[in-house]
Amino acid sequence: MRLRAKTRRAARHVLDLGLPPMCPTCREPVADQGGLCARCWSKLSFITRPYCERLGIPFAYDPGPGVLSMEAIADPPAYTRARAAVRYDETARTMVQAFKYSDRIDLAPAMGRWMALAGRELLAEADALIPVPLHWRRLWSRRFNQAAALAKTISRLSNVPVAYGALARVRATRQQVGLTQAERATNVQGAFRVPDTSRAELRGKRLVLVDDVLTSGATLDVCSRILLRAGARKRRCPGVCEGCPAAS
């Protein structure tokens, strides 16, 4: 498999020499490396308010200020707030897959910029960014951690430092794709750990986890629990949400 990835990479380098940069979703030539073509860009669905203040899930209609989604009330995650830049529809999925599996690391600056904008309220209060780590074996075959690449751009734009290595993936997990919500939670259980050498660095800090995709939130939930247990600061809800579980 590694050999196949290498061949693909080599093929891409050959293509890079002779062809203009390509749109990662429709493969049409684009003027600059690192972006979508105008048509695919217009198909992306950027998430704006109204959304659940807790989970960042967009609402179809505006329920009024401070109203949380049913999911946030029924099954509140360990993290206080989540924000996502775009809906994970077909265009976004194709783009993320090109980014992760086809060596399109040149997409990180654009994606990181959207994320920095979507998460600006969280970043304004953050002490450090924590990219969701890859298991070393996956990092080896993919060559880069996509979450760390995004965190790097977000850090540059927000001036919040990245705490590389503050969270480690100690167990390789199956891909979360195709698993039910319960299976996703079980899959990532015990997969992460805060190294002893990072505990002092995290104590009392307000952290923002960075990942490329947020679906069930199972990975981020597990990571949050571990970081909180290691002494990271739990942010209290500003109190705008009626019956918000994070307020107490």
Give the footprint of Zn ion on this chain (CB under 5 A).
23, 25-26, 37, 40
CB of 44 to Zn ion, least distance (A): 10
Give the integer Cα–Cα distance in Å for 61 and 55.
16
Judge whether 104 and 120 are in contact, CB under 8 Å.
no
Nearer residue to Zn ion within complex by CB, 52 or 95: 95
Nearer residue to Zn ion within complex by CB, 15 or 200: 15
Nearer residue to Zn ion within complex by CB, 37 or 68: 37
CB of 88 to Zn ion, least distance (A): 17
CB of 14 to Zn ion, least distance (A): 22
Nearer residue to Zn ion within complex by CB, 37 or 116: 37
CB of 221 to Zn ion, least distance (A): 33
